[in-house]
Structure 1
């Protein structure tokens, strides 16, 4: 069975726009997904990129146009100026890592729920109550966020190191074997690769 290593941050609008397409293509192609949350603000400077606040105005403007285009194309509500952004991704990332370790819920649903909360629901995913509510909404014990915090923090740091070592430079990023795919707009190419086309 092929494995898709999925590198992401729960605050990315492009992660949000990926929706459940990764999970659906993995099911069609008989692949499993390894979810790897990491800190994009630490990834970019280590791989030659810039955090959003430091990018040239032309890049910021283009990003907004792309978000609007993809939102329309995919039929997904997206607030270009969300109430809680930028927001600390660590609490949500820790919750995802702890939930995976604990088991018992819908991990893919949880991964999708955090960016949706930011970009479509106006929720602050850095707040403990919101994190616990989203865990519960996806079938996990909300207490895993507290119990697994130290383990999750360690994994989160190691995820960043792994991403840099494996050539990840933007998010979302998908790796199958030695093949790398950057961006939710490359999911069709990822599926073609898995299908051997």
Structure 2
């Protein structure tokens, strides 16, 4: 089996936007497959009683300045949207629906570009996703039915819970085997892991038994 990079993402995550672009050349260099997993960050934030916009104003200003440095460094047309944060679960379910048509990654690229490059927050709702489905050659009625289905809703819950079970607490989160890498600034470590994989972890109970 070839090398696999599991990528947990949310449309509302600034850093997921950068990670979407930065992981591609690393995967290509190693012949690895990037497997995307929509991760409902809003659900996780609510569960942890975390409110992003209640952070200190100085920290929020510094974060924005840092994001613009990243955009300049990698020549990406990133800009902060007018509507931030926003609800993203319809877009996350849309990605899962597009998985049925083998167009998940193309869909992700289009919604990230719409929101983080063109200030188009309509992709946070089903109506704003329908034109993208049409652009990708997918029947909009079939797409809408899937996005609103209980099956896809349950699948998003399963994807999110599966990430949490693996140790994910935010996005972007990457896994190469059992090794976890958090953030857009972990690309070097992912590159290293794909070059020379870490040895399998030994559980403490196993280590204790061996001594």
| TM-score bracket for the superposition, by shorter chain length | 0.7 to 0.9
Does the 8 Å contact 2:42/2:87 carry over to 1?
no
Using CA pairs below 8 Å that are at least 6 residues apart, which structure has the higher relative contact order? 1
Distance 2:183 2:49 in 1: 15
Indicate the residue corresponding to 1:181 in structure 2: 181
Q: 1:51 to 1:135 in 2, by over 3 A?
A: farther
Task: Please give the root-mean-square deviation of Cα atoms over the aligned residues, in Å.
Answer: 2.1
Q: Which structure dedicates a bigger proportion of its chain to helix?
A: 2
Does the 8 Å contact 2:19/2:184 carry over to 1?
yes
Indicate the residue corresponding to 2:208 in structure 1: none
Indicate the residue corresponding to 2:40 in structure 1: 39
Does the 8 Å contact 1:6/1:35 carry over to 2?
yes
**Which structure 2 residues correspond to residues 45-60 of structure 1 after superposition, within 5 A?**
46=47, 50-60=50-60
Indicate the residue corresponding to 1:110 in structure 2: 107
Q: 1:14 to 1:49 in 2, by over 3 A?
A: farther
Superposition deviation, residue 83 in structure 1: 2.7
Question: Aligned pairs, how many?
Answer: 193
Larger radius of gyration: 2
Q: Is there any run of 5+ residues in structure 1 with no aligned partner, and where?
A: none
Distance 2:118 2:24 in 1: 22
Superposition deviation, residue 125 in structure 1: 0.9
TM-score, normalised to structure 2, is: 0.81
Q: Is residue 85 of structure 1 aligned with residue 84 of structure 2?
A: yes
